Structure 1
Amino acid sequence: MNITRNNETKYLLLVILSICFLATGGILVKLSNLPPINTGFYRVLFSIPILLPFIWKDLLHINKKDFIVMFLAGVFLAGDLSLWNISFNFTSVANANLLANFTPFIVIPISYFIFNEKLTKYFYSGAILTIIGVIILMIGKIEPNINNFFGDFLALLTSIFYASFLLTVYKLRDRISSAIIMFVSAFGTVFTLFIVLYITEGIHIPRTIPDLLPLLGLALMSQIMGQGLLAYCLGKVNATLSSLICLTQPIIASFYAYILFDEILSFLEILGMIICIFGVYIAKKTIV
């Protein structure tokens, strides 16, 4: 069963809200006392008991095939979280953020050829404007350096895994609620992340309140309110437009840095933000 996605403005605003929640992830990861992959592991693990009371009755109606696909979606998300976190060890934060946001380059052609999402030439104009805006926003921070190549490659792989996660959830939303998708996929994520952290960082257990608070914040803000709300909107907004709006995450992260850490916003960064927002507006107005 295919559901109709009309890209209504209220759902567009919810996608932006979900990106606002997701953008808190970098701050909370920075506040965490645990290594980054362990932090990602607990972010997802702690979301499971929070979601369980809302979905346990509906779990009995999910067939085995859908369980497997949801578990696979979780594996894709684990690939995104782990590769992105590891990339920070080899490249700059700016490079990692920019390359990890190349998701639309994967989502848009797949949505066009496989999901038959019709696009106009104006959508591509809006997409190009948005990408230019993001590049301008990040240009003062990007560090083109041969030594960063491996980290840049990992960040680029991150976008492939996240695109795979978005596309899988997008098709699941034709018949399954976002809460169930996030609950079941969480098991695929924690299973995969546990293997990665065991190999790379070792097992770290949060033992104090300062250890726990950022992890609980990540579970609520990033995993449930961020990824969960985005998963809900994937049943209301086309995958192409959703992935394009995800490019606004560096904008929101820059605002957070300005408010919380007193980071200066340069003229180029402000110009990039304006171009990016205008590009999303054009893309939204012209999807058919």
Structure 2
Amino acid sequence: MTEGAGRGQAALAALTGAALIGLSPIAVRLSEVGPHATNFWRFLFALPILAVWAGLARPIPSTRQIGLILIAGVLFGIEISLWAAALGFTTVTNATLLTNLTPVFAAIFGWLLFRERLSRPVLAGGAVALTGAVVLALARAQSATGPAADASNGWIGDGLGLCAAVGYAGYLLIVRALGRQVSVGAVMFWATLSAAAVSCALSFGLSEAMLPQTLGGWAMLIGLGLVVQIAGQGLIAYGVGRLPIAISTVLLWMQPLVAAVLSWILFGEALGALALVGAALILAGVYTVQRSRA
């Protein structure tokens, strides 16, 4: 296979995976159980297949590497939980876009932990993206859309989305540190295992409803595990690992795009002019940061 064909397949994989991940916030909103319980079932239904994948994949991770992946999975579980909680306070678009500010926080963590240089483009891109986040939050408040449209705690949802981006940045930094030492299958299995533990603890701690009442409710949870966690995350892991970071960043924008379109159709969460400006600033800032860090 030529290099061009290989990159084409990787790009298609990342694009398809991002589109599948975009279904996740819609499923969380429509789920018959609580948001953390929804995430728990998503992880649980994915684990058997991921266990087979991890068992067949090589190289086999060491005990130390498994420990690091488990820590990364805890951060991933926290990120997913914060993002799911945000969906109960703000719009799907806000929660998804703000969570996608991960590269900005990854750059900050890289500077703090690894003394990576923050170039002017990184600083400028981060400033633009964070400005876009503020504009997007203001647009949500003015348009009075979302679950908390009539309450000031819509800002809490936006804040939770930002915190989710911080958690995911920590997850990515650990995975990045392991690099090619560990297979994708092993990373996904062990990280999903510890993320499931986090979601389970939160769902029981918050006394959420754990069992769906209909077959449709169970089907949605199974679909989340198979379609989103395995197919979506797996395709993204395959594609992103074989593409330049600036290109993969653009392709992963399919996730918030799909989420925004579906939330507009299903929940009437329309994007006004100000929201579109905020979204554009976030995407432009994230792309600038990723391109510079590449």
In structure 2, do the counterparts of structure 1 residues 268 and 43 end up closer, same or farther at CA, with 3 Å as the change threshold?
same
**Conserved? CA contact 2:246–2:291, under 8 Å:** no
Give deviations 1:21-50, integer Å, cap 9, x for gaps: 222111111222111111100001111122
Counting only pairs closer than 5 Å after superposition, residues 1-12 of structure 1 correspond to structure 2 as none
Gaps of 5+ in 2: 1-6, 143-148
Give deviations 1:115-173, integer Å, cap 9, x for gaps: 56566433443444444445445532137976556655544432332221121222233
Q: TM-score, normalised by structure 1?
A: 0.75
How far 1:243 moved relative to its partner? 7.6
Structure 2 distance, partners of 1:198, 1:149, is 26
* Corresponding residue number in structure 2 for 1:179: 185
How far 1:210 moved relative to its partner? 0.6
* Corresponding residue number in structure 2 for 1:42: 41
Counting only pairs closer than 5 Å after superposition, residues 102-251 of structure 1 correspond to structure 2 as 102-112=101-111, 114-115=113-114, 120-142=119-141, 147=153, 154-202=160-208, 204-206=210-212, 208-233=214-239, 235-236=241-242, 249-251=255-257
**Conserved? CA contact 1:130–1:247, under 8 Å:** no
In structure 2, do the counterparts of structure 1 residues 18 and 252 end up closer, same or farther at CA, with 3 Å as the change threshold?
same
* Corresponding residue number in structure 2 for 1:5: none
> Structure 2: which amino acid aligns with 1:23?
G
> Structure 1: which amino acid aligns with 2:67?
I
Structure 2 distance, partners of 1:11, 1:115, is 29
In structure 2, do the counterparts of structure 1 residues 234 and 76 end up closer, same or farther at CA, with 3 Å as the change threshold?
farther
Gaps of 5+ in 1: 1-7
> Structure 2: which amino acid aligns with 1:79?
I
Structure 2 distance, partners of 1:153, 1:171, is 28
**Conserved? CA contact 1:104–1:243, under 8 Å:** no
Secondary structure of the 1:62 match is: coil
The percent identity for this pair of structures is: 27
Secondary structure of the 1:174 match is: helix
Number of equivalenced pairs? 280
* Corresponding residue number in structure 2 for 1:75: 74
Find 1:92's aligned residue among 76, 81, 90: 90
**Conserved? CA contact 1:133–1:271, under 8 Å:** yes
In structure 2, do the counterparts of structure 1 residues 82 and 195 end up closer, same or farther at CA, with 3 Å as the change threshold?
same
Structure 2 distance, partners of 1:44, 1:105, is 27
> Structure 2: which amino acid aligns with 1:159?
A
CA RMSD of aligned residues (A): 3.8
Structure 1 distance, partners of 2:31, 2:261, is 21
> Structure 1: which amino acid aligns with 2:164?
T
> Structure 2: which amino acid aligns with 1:139?
L
**Conserved? CA contact 1:248–1:276, under 8 Å:** no
